[in-house]
């Protein structure tokens, strides 16, 4: 990491307004505080560099891609990389042979299809707004709805961005909170907006998982990770129940261990819960890059 790298991250702030500004500030502070040590950046998008053009291109005029860089980049790659590796270990299968759909469900949510350790599809796109319904982000909606709000003057671009990023998703539908634990408590007390928010979340997550599976020749496993994917056992069970039409067997709504096979042994596709360990993937990358730099010196 150098000041030039930080500048590049800051320049791309428009693509990830919730992330890049904070990342650039943290990187600057880190260099200033510990200038004597090498600093390494691990990019969440890097894992998705294996996407084929048919997967990362949008069906828009070519100049949008060639001149303006409008394409699918994908995010949560560090988490997905660990989930795919750990799933292979739990299933006693070589990662190079396993075909997996990973659902990273947290404040931000995405689904990725992994074929032999390589990303072949992902639900997030140019920005982290596309795809699943999230904590405070809307996910994919009809862009015509956005044009309508802008053309009629109901929202300006800044207000629209603020509401799509911070006031939508579980928070927008429930009108109360984006915290799944609180929504579950509200649902149990008969709160209809909370029930609607959780039902929509489960349905949209299942839709994205099923769509991602079409990018694979076959489906060996579905992995749930991230704060919601790991801890919201009841919601996870509801998502899986929505996948019965593609042959996914139900899983228990009861809590499981840290890394666990949720489906019955031998059932395919297997359903697993895996604790996100981005720290391990980042540490490995840092060790590899710093080690290579040291060897070159």
pLDDT tens track for 157-185:
999 999 999 999 999 999 999 999 999 99
Band of pLDDT at residue 14, cut at 50, 70 and 90: confident
- Which residue is catalytic, options 44, 165, 220, 259? 44
Band of pLDDT at residue 20, cut at 50, 70 and 90: confident
57: pLDDT strictly greater than 80: yes
Q: For residues 280 and 259, what is the distance between their CA atoms, to the nearest angstrom?
A: 15
Active site residue 115: no
pLDDT tens for 91-120 read 999 999 999 999 999 999 999 999 999 999
pLDDT at 6 (0 to 100): 93
pLDDT tens for 195-237 read 999 999 999 999 999 999 999 999 999 999 999 999 999 999 9
pLDDT at 296 (0 to 100): 59
Dihedral over Cα of 39, 45, 50, 52: its sign: negative
pLDDT at 13 (0 to 100): 85
SS (H, E, C) the chain: CCHHHHHHHHHCHHHCCCCHHHHHHHHHHHHHHCCCCCCCCCCCCHHHHHCCHHHHCCCCCHHHHHCCCCCCCCCCHHHHHHHHHHHHHHCCCCHHHCEEEEEEECCCEEEEEEECCEEEEECCCCCCCCCCCCCCCCCCCCHHHHHHHHHCCCCCHHHHHHHHHHCCHHHHHHCCCCCHHHHHHHHHCCCHHHHHHHHHHHHHHHHHHHHHHCCCCCCCEEEEEHHHHHHCHHHHHHHHHCCHHHCCCCCCCCCCCCCEECCCCCCCCEEEECCCCHHHHHHHHHHHHHHHHHHHC
43: pLDDT strictly greater than 60: yes
Q: For residues 23 and 105, what is the distance between their CA atoms, to the nearest angstrom?
A: 21
142: pLDDT strictly greater than 60: yes
Band of pLDDT at residue 293, cut at 50, 70 and 90: low
82: pLDDT strictly greater than 80: yes
Question: To the nearest whole number, what is the mean pLDDT of the chain?
Answer: 95
Edge-to-edge strand order for the sheet containing 118-122?
Answer: 118-122, 109-115, 99-105, 221-225, 270-273, 260-261
Burial class (CB within 10 angstroms; exposed 0-12, middle 13-18, buried 19+) of 47: buried
Mean pLDDT for 20-41 is: 92
Indicate left, alpha or beta for 247 from its phi (over 0: left) and psi (-120 to 50: alpha): left
Out of 1-5, 82-86, 197-201, 206-210, pick the least confident.
1-5
């Amino acid at each position: 990491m150098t000041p030039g790298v930080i500048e590049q991250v800051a320049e791309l702030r428009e693509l990830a307004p919730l992330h890049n500004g904070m990342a650039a500030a943290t990187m600057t502070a880190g260099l200033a505080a510990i200038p004597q040590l090498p600093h390494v950046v691990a990019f969440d998008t890097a894992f998705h560099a294996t996407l084929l053009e048919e997967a990362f291109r949008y069906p828009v005029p070519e100049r949008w891609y060639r001149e303006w860089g409008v394409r699918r980049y994908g995010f949560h790659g560090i988490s997905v990389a660990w989930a795919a590796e750990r799933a292979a270990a739990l299933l006693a299968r070589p990662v190079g042979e396993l075909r997996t759909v990973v659902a990273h469900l947290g404040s931000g949510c995405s689904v990725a299809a992994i074929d032999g350790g390589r990303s072949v599809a992902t639900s997030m796109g140019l920005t982290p707004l596309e795809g699943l319904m999230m904590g405070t982000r809307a996910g994919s909606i009809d862009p015509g709805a956005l044009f309508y709000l802008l053309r009629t003057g109901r929202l300006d671009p800044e207000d629209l961005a603020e509401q799509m990023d911070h006031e939508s998703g579980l928070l927008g539908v429930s009108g109360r909170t984006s915290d799944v634990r609180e929504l579950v408590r509200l649902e149990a007390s008969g709160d209809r907006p909370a029930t609607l928010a959780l039902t929509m979340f489960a349905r949209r997550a299942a839709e994205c998982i099923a769509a991602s599976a079409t990018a694979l020749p076959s489906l060996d496993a579905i992995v749930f990770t991230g704060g919601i994917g790991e801890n919201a056992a009841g919601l996870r069970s509801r998502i899986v129940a929505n996948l019965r039409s593609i042959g996914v067997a139900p899983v228990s709504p009861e809590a499981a261990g840290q890394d666990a096979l949720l489906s019955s042994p031998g059932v395919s596709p297997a359903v697993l819960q895996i604790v996100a360990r981005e720290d391990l993937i980042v540490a490995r990358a840092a060790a590899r890059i710093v080690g290579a730099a040291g060897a070159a010196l």
